[in-house]
Chain A
Amino acid sequence: MNQPLAEGARESLVELRIPCKAEWVALARLSVAAVASRLHFSIEEIEDVKLAVAEACTTAIQHAHGSAYLEIKCEITDGGLRVNVRDSGHTPGPGVVRVRSREEVRVGELGVFLIRSLMDEVTYDVHPEHGTDLVMYKRLPL
């Protein structure tokens, strides 16, 4: 079983690069869940992070055309876990990451809606030519 990180081992970085294909999403979510489990998150919070990362990868696979790989970066900070999911594909524009209320959200936008609901901070940097950079942060409970 994973042991929580010692104080001195905080502020570590874990990087993963996977093919931008559906069959690799499970590896991404399980790897990030393993990183999250090294922090003092509850099981429910680890599941939140796991789903958010999977949704980020799924959105990239469905919308980032021409991206061969996805880069996933987990940064352990004193206050929580920052996860960066980056693709290098052509995107149709920022429409898919638009903020919508639960009543307005469409089926194809459920993934982005879930990411925004499950994580504490979410920022998207969408470049139509160079891909999308998603940064999400989950705070550790006080």
Chain B
Amino acid sequence: MKALRVPTRHVKSWVARLKDKRRILDIKVNVRESKGDCYVVELSGEIDVYTSPKVKDAIGELIDRGVYNLVINLENVRYIDSTGLGVLIGGLKRVREHGGSVNLVCTNPQIRKIFDITGLVKIFGIFDAEDAAMKALA
């Protein structure tokens, strides 16, 4: 039986494409300290039933450490579903018990629409820029 030879460059390109796909279906969470006792949770990627536990853990860890004022930046989030919304609502409920708050930064019209449909625009402070979201927490 004749062996099938695949040029190395093709294999490299398949691996690169696969890695790309994995990135599409993932969420990146970057937490950084900001002015005062406020923290920024910067999210990028897609938040769904598979990736939302990672977001929940990151927010939960901050609250456990006594951080009750959060800005969650959704500028680089391409997609969010009800499980993602549930995580944000859960975080808000927890910080409110300690007199804190959560403001969101959201510029993606499709994601903004989901907050509008569900009425969550009335519950969260939603801003176009991180500075404004932080200022409103102060």
Contact = CB atoms under 8 A, between A and B. Distances in A.
Interface of A: 22-23, 25-26, 29, 44, 47, 50-51, 54-55, 57-58, 61-62, 102-103, 105, 107-108, 110-111, 113-114, 117-118
Contacts of A108: 86
Nearest to B120: A110
Contacts, number: 59
A83 to B, nearest CB: 16
B48 A58 contact: yes
Given A58-B49, A114-B117, 5 more contacts: A26-B25, A26-B46, A50-B79, A51-B81, A111-B83
Interface residues of B, number: 20
B114 A51 contact: yes
A53 B3 CA distance: 43
B117 A55 contact: no
B50 A25 contact: yes
Contacts of A26: 24-25, 46, 48, 50
A64 to B, nearest CB: 13
16 contacts: A22-B48, A22-B49, A26-B48, A44-B110, A55-B82, A58-B48, A61-B49, A107-B85, A108-B86, A110-B82, A110-B86, A110-B118, A111-B81, A111-B82, A113-B82, A118-B117
Contact of A54 (B48, B86, B110, B113): B48
Contacts of B114: 51, 114
Given A113-B118, A114-B117, A114-B118, A47 B49 contact: no
